Structures are given as structure tokens and as C-alpha cells.
Chain A
Amino acid sequence: MIEERELELFYGPQHLGMVGNFSITLKVEGDTIVEAIANPGYLHRGFEKLMEYRNWIQNFPLVCRINVIEPDSIEMIYAMGVEKLAGIEVPERANYIRSIYLELARVGSHLFGAWAYANMLGFDTAAQWAMYHRDLILDLFEELTGGRVYHIYINPGGVRRDFPKGFKDKIVKTLHAIGGCIPDYDATFFNNALFYKRANGIGKINLETAKKLGAVGQVLRATGMEYDIRKVEPYAAYDKVDFNVPTREDGDAYSRIWIVRDEMIESVHMIFKLLDMMPEGDVWNRTPNPLKWRIPEGEAYVRVESSRGELGLYLVSNGEDKPYRVHFRTPSYTHGLPILEKLLKGANISDVGNIMISLYVIAPEIDR
């Protein structure tokens, strides 16, 4: 009889089942994981420290690099923090534009998430469609902001520029084109029996454990809690529009990916409603000369609902032209470190990628 022994395996950072530069040290016995140690740091660029050397406006190109897939919520939260410290109001139209822009980003990010998950499980057709549809949304961003991935569109006091002529129709047309493919997505991926078999019961977490470990976003909503910052603490124009927060009860990978799908549809409905309600007017309230802009002493904690869950920012000013301390509370931090370690314990070695991608973790958000 072969003696069972513990083996140490290094999973990542260069691994097919891994999205992003992140690694896990696994201790395995046979096929079962005994212990998992998350090992981030491959993308630690020290943004929070670098921001202390740059003035308030110069930091925008830095912050959006924290989440590569969806940089827009990070821009939004940093702008909100600066507005709160400096006491700047935002025009009504800019609030609507911000909401539409953030929801577009959410759809784009969720399509990327669907790509990652479908690709990992081998559903290449649906994955390629998702990537193509994400590209259509990037085209919209390119027309609006000039950038495809990093947009730097939200400024303190509003947004950088108004919608170009005919842009509303383009949004509607693009979203209709994507929405028309939902039955195809369902048939090939979401309602596919193979997908159910691969994802059902994988990485299961219950509500109590999720709350204890600081879960937010899809991970928490998949356990049955309707927790969404857009509802709890509305920002931008989210208090003026009606929308549902999709939840599920099972808390496994299957529920999490279904929530991603339902949220995309909910976001598209919300964009249509917001486009109809958008008022006319200015999009930017003038802010002082950025080179001489000193923000009064104080501290602020703001939060938004990014595509991955609750995102927070603790911002401290000591009255200078630069921030004194910046600290981001990112959703991937709790999902990728304590929750991932917990869920991997006792799991099968072939499910590591499955669990990690279904938690919707993105490595640069952990490292910052």
C-alpha cells in the first residue's frame, strides 16, 4: 500500500487556471487540498504611497490602474472622496452621466467575467462572444473618452465632457445588439447541463461565514443577502431609478455566475431608464486651479458598488496640495485572501481555478 503523504504545490503566478498575477501555495494529500496559502504581491506597485507624492488631480491616471478590468468605479470613488473633502457639488446631469457610465462599465466587466469563467470551463463559443461584446462596449468608451481601457473620465465636480452627438442612440443600439444574444448565451452556457455539473456545489459558502469573513458583492448576494451599496447608500443618480438586486440562495460558483448574468441584464434596463430621465444642463462645476488646489484638513470614508462588490476609500488630507494618506478597501482583497483560503481547504485540486474565478477576484485590486 502506498503511504499517503503531504505534498507542497505552487499554483501560479504563471498558470493556465489563474487569471492575473497571483499565486497560491497548496498543501495536498492525494487530490484533496489540506491547506492553501494565498500569496499576492506580484503586482504591488505601492499606489497608495505614490499618490502621496502627487497632487489631487495627478492621481487620476494612477487610481484607474488599480482595477484593470473596470477602472471606472475606482475613478468614481476617488472623485467622490475629493468632492467630499473639498465640499464640491456635482451638477444633476453629471450624476446621470456618471451612473450610465458606471453601469456600462459594469456590463463590460461582467462580460469579461463571463469570458474568464466560460473559457476556464472550456465553453469557448460563449467565451468568444462575451469578449466580442465587451469590445463593443469598449468602442463606446473610446468614442466618449478617447481611451479604451483606462478612461479618466470622471473629474471632481462632474465629468470631463458631455455625451457627443448621437451617443445616446449608439448606447441603445449596442445594448440591444448584446441583449439580443442573451438566449444564445443561455443555450450554450448558462443553461447548459455541463456548466451546471461543473459549477454546482463548487466553492460553497454560507451566509454566516461570508459575513464573518467580510464578503461583499456577488459572493454575499449568492448566499441570499440583498446587500448592494447602490441601495444602502445611493450615490450618483441611483436613488432616482428603480432597479432590482438579484440574489440566490446556494452560495456556490453556479449561483455567483448566475448573479453576474442577472446583474448585466438589470444594468442594461437601468441604463435605458437613466437615458430617458437625463436632464439637460452643465456637466462640470468648476474646481480651483489644480496646481494650486489645497483641500482643507479632514478625512473621509466613501463607498460605491463596483462590479465586484463594495469598494471603499479612506482619504486623509492635512490641508496640503497632495493627499496625506489614501487607503482603498477593495472587494477582491477579502474575496481573494481570507475567503479563497477558506474555500480551498478540503476542495479538490482540479477545482482551484474554478473556485478562484467564480469568486471574481482580480489580482491588481488585492496588491494595489
Chain B
Amino acid sequence: MATFVPIKRKRGSKMSANKLQEEIGSLFKNITLKIAKNNRIFILAQKEQILDILSFLKNKGFDHLELISCVDWIKKNQFEIVYILTSYLLEDEKSRIHLILKTRVSRENPEIMSALPIFENAEFYEREIYELFGVNFDGNNRLIPLFLDREYKIPPFRKDFDTREYVKNLYDSILPVEDKNK
């Protein structure tokens, strides 16, 4: 039997992450940058800058939009839209960097530009967030219902939507079937 030679785990060097940080920092103003452990780069930007930063990062090789997510920070009265980008490149160190780009929009009038011109697969993520959180994506013409069947007063993934109360109100109002054998 052949002896095993453990593969050396290639770690993305701190250099490339730092270089990227410098470049983004010099190009875009009013953003907060943080490099965390394991080459996670967190960027907090204004919502007007998002498209510019996304297209800059795509040209830099971060061509894989993993996820667009939304977090409801109800105490700050804000929604946080989160874009997670990685790279399809394999040999390059970039493939180990996760870029987490975040922006905040107000809860009263949640609206942001759609990422569709840059990433084609953004369409469904945006549809999902529109349906579950009520965030409007300007430029996405297909914000039609994706999962849900019923109409809700509050989009159901918001923090002020109480699932348990909703279930109780909905199903307790249906009378149980009478047992005729009694």
C-alpha cells in the first residue's frame, strides 16, 4: 500500500488580502474594512456604492456570487443586505478569500439597486428577499412571489412577525372535525 503524503493546506497569504484592502480603501470613501481570521474580508459600505464595489470586485476576480442575504436589525431600525463573494479560480489564493460586503437600508423605506447588471444569478436571491423581507430591488423586473402562497401583512421573515402567534391565530380559528361516533 502506498504511503500517504498529507497535502499541505495552502493558506491564502495575508499579503493578498491586505493588498486588496488597501486598493478598495483608496478607491472608495466612507467604507469600513476589516480583515478577520482565515481571510474573511468584511466591507461595510453605503448603499449607493454597492454596484460600483461589486463591479470592481468582479473585475478583480471575485466572480462567484454565493449569496445575497438580509438581516433584520430591528433595534437599529435597519435592514442589512449582505453580499457574499468568492472566486472560482483554483490555483489562485483568491479562492480562499471570502468577501462579505454589507450595506444598511432603513426599515421604513427599504430600497436598493439590483445587482442584476453585474451578477445574473442575483435575480432569485433578490426575489426571495423581496418576498420574505419586503426589500425592494430597483432594476429587478421580476419581483414576483417565489415561495409563499398567502398574503401577509408583514413580510414573514421580519423580526416583528411572530410565527407562533400567526400559527395560533390561523389554525385555532379552524374548528376541529366533530367525532360522529360519540
User: Which residues of A line the B interface, CB within 8 A?
Assistant: 40-41, 44, 46, 48-50, 53, 211-214, 225-227, 231-234, 239-242, 273, 276-277, 299, 301, 303, 310, 312, 314, 316, 324-325, 327, 329, 333-334, 337-338, 367
Q: How many B residues have CB within 8 A of the partner chain?
A: 37
B67 CB contacts on chain A under 8 angstroms: 301, 312, 314, 327, 329
B157 to chain A, nearest CB (A): 6
Q: When the two chains form their complex, are residues A232 and B148 in contact, meaning their CB atoms are under 8 A apart?
A: no
B146 and A314 contacting across the interface, CB-CB below 8 Å: no
**CB proximity of B100 to chain A, nearest CB, Å:** 6
User: A327–B6 contact, CB under 8 A?
Assistant: no
**CA–CA, A48 to B156, complex, Å?**
11
B149 engages A314 (CB within 8 Å):
no
User: Is A234 within 8 A of B157, CB to CB?
Assistant: no
A325-B149 contact given A50-B163, A213-B121, A277-B4, CB 8 Å threshold: no
With A41-B146, A240-B4, A314-B82 already in contact, the answer to whether A233 and B96 are too (CB < 8 A) is: yes
Question: B90 near A49 (CB under 8 angstroms)?
Answer: no
Residues of A within 8 A of B90 (CB): 225-227, 231-232
A18 to B12, CA, bound (A): 42
Are A41's CB and B7's CB within 8 A? no
**Residues of chain B within 8 A of A327, CB atoms compared:** 67, 69
3 closest Cβ pairs, A-B complex:
A214-B121, A41-B147, A44-B147
Bound complex: CA of A50 vs CA of B148, how far in Å? 15
With A232-B90, A277-B4, A301-B100 known as contacts, the answer to whether A211 contacts B63 (CB < 8 A) is yes
Q: Kindly list chain A residues whose C-beta atoms are within 8 Å of the C-beta of B98.
A: 301
Tell me how far the C-beta of A270 lies from the nearest C-beta in chain B, rounded to whole angstroms: 11
- Whether A312 contacts B95 in the complex (CB less than 8 A), given A234-B9, A338-B124, comes out as no
**Residue from the list A225, A234, A334 in contact with B88, Cβ < 8 A:** A225
Interface residues of B in 142-169 (CB under 8 A from A): 145-149, 156-157, 163-164
Set of chain B residues within 8 Å of A334, measured between Cβ atoms: 121, 124
A49 and B4 contact, CB distance less than 8 A: no
**Which residue on chain A has the smallest CB distance to residue B5?**
A242
Q: Which residues of A contact B1 (CB under 8 A)?
A: 276
- Give the residues from 57 to 98 in chain B that come closer than 8 angstroms, CB to CB, to chain A: 63-67, 69, 71-72, 82, 84, 88, 90, 95-96, 98
- C-alpha gap A327/B128 in the complex (Å): 11
Q: Does B69 lie within 8 Å of A314, measured CB to CB?
A: yes
B156 partner residues in chain A, CB cutoff 8 A: 46, 49
A338 to B, closest residue via Cβ: B121
Cα distance A225–B7 when bound, in Å? 20
Q: Does B123 contact A (CB under 8 A)?
A: yes
**Interface flag for B178 (CB, 8 Å):** no
CB proximity to A under 8 Å, residues B1-21: 1, 4-7, 9
Please tell me if the beta carbons of B163 and A41 are within 8 angstroms of each other in the complex: no
Determine the distance from Cα of A232 to Cα of B89 in the docked complex, in whole angstroms: 9
Minimum CB–CB distance from A221 to chain B (whole Å) comes to: 12
Q: Would B88 and A41 count as touching, CB distance under 8 A?
A: no
| Given A214-B64, A234-B9, A301-B40, A40:B147 Cβ within 8 A | yes
B88 touches A53 (CB 8 A): no
Complex Cα gap A50–B157 (Å): 10
Q: For residue B48, give the distance in angstroms from its CB to the closest CB of chain A.
A: 23
CA distance A54 to B55 in the complex (A): 38
